[in-house]
Amino acid sequence: MKILITGSNGMLGHDLINVLGKKHDLVPTTSKTLDITDKKQTIEYICDKKPDIVINSAAYTDVDGCEENQDLAYSVNAQGVRNLALACREIDCALLHISTDYVFDGTATEPIREDGQIGPISVYGKSKLEGEEAIQEILDKYFIVRTAWLYGINGRNFPKTMLELAENHKEIKVVYDEVGSPTYTLDLAEGISQLIETDYYGIYHLTNSGHCSWCEFARYIFEISKKDVEVIPVTASEFARPAPRPSYSVLENRNWIEKGFKPLRNYRQAINEYIELIL
């Protein structure tokens, strides 16, 4: 298959290239070669390359930055996604788009299904939801893959921050009242590689299995990396940040399982492999 990938310099983009490059013909793009906020360029570029599928891993992902730079958030995460959907419609190709657990409000008490009550509480979440809605309005052939708490080799992320802090801190304060499923971008990329072989279009939740709070995740990271750091649990409200985060955003990978795919491995197995790789 010929696959056009946006955001190929990003954390997930990097693993998509690694995984998909083994068996497909890729057209990797960055914000320099294809700025998805430019409607004309986006349509012309995609019509010229004629991919079988577009995978959109580009986004403005700075959750706090989105509160400050709302225009940029909507321009990339909503309008940019709309432009991609319009381009895909022109050449009748499918679009696989990455979305987020932040489209939910965090009030759920059990794993959230794909048709769970939507209600983003941050500009990032609202802009990502607008992107989802544009796709559903414009296309029939789409996969919307909501994922969460990503970490990978190529980018800043929570495990790397914890390991950096461990270099010169004996105690680290970490939020305990936000619960989710940490997800390794390599596992997600492998899941995406299976999904695009099908025509099982629709909305998917796709994360590593299991869930934890940030605090539990930090403790586990220090345990497996043998760092002697005490993790002090704090509430999200003690940790003032510009954007509110959902307090519970565990995603039930229901559609994924119902379509016969194997659940992604437990987040503990995944982070073990990742820590071994980066240490």
Ligand X SMILES: NC(=O)c1ccc[n+]([C@@H]2O[C@H](COP(=O)([O-])OP(=O)(O)OC[C@H]3O[C@@H](n4cnc5c(N)ncnc54)[C@H](OP(=O)(O)O)[C@@H]3O)[C@@H](O)[C@H]2O)c1
Q: Where do contacts with ligand X occur on this chain (CB under 6 A)?
A: 6-7, 9-13, 30-32, 34-37, 57-61, 76, 80, 98, 100, 128, 147-150, 155
Strand order in the sheet with 202-205: 25-28, 2-6, 53-56, 94-100, 142-147, 202-205
Nearest approach, Cβ of residue 228 and ligand X (Å): 27
Going by C-alpha positions, the residue among 93, 117, 87 that lies closest to residue 104 is: 117
Nearest approach, Cβ of residue 237 and ligand X (Å): 21
Q: List active site positions.
A: 124
Nearest approach, Cβ of residue 230 and ligand X (Å): 25
Indicate the residue among 34 and 78 with the shorter CB distance to ligand X: 34
Indicate the residue among 149 and 222 with the shorter CB distance to ligand X: 149
Indicate the residue among 128 and 211 with the shorter CB distance to ligand X: 128
Phi-psi region of 94 (alpha: psi -120 to 50; beta: other; left: phi over 0): beta
Nearest approach, Cβ of residue 59 and ligand X (Å): 3
The strand pairing partners of 5, in sequence order, are 28, 55
Residue 125 dihedral angles phi and psi, to the nearest 5°: -60, -40
| CA triple 141-142-148, angle to 5 deg | 170
**3-state secondary structure string across 142-157:** EEEEEECCEECCCCCC
Indicate the residue among 232 and 278 with the shorter CB distance to ligand X: 278
Nearest approach, Cβ of residue 128 and ligand X (Å): 6
Q: How far apart are the first and last CA of the chain?
A: 35
- Rounded to an integer, what distance in angstroms lies between the CA atom of residue 156 and that of residue 64? 14
Q: Which residue is nearest to ligand X (CB)?
A: 10
Nearest approach, Cβ of residue 269 and ligand X (Å): 19
Query: What is the distance of C-alpha 94 from the center of its chain?
Result: 19
Residue type, 202: G
DSSP string, 228-262: --EEEEE-GGGS--SS---SB-PBP-HHHHHTTPP
Tokens of 24: 């497909």
Indicate the residue among 34 and 232 with the shorter CB distance to ligand X: 34
Indicate the residue among 76 and 172 with the shorter CB distance to ligand X: 76
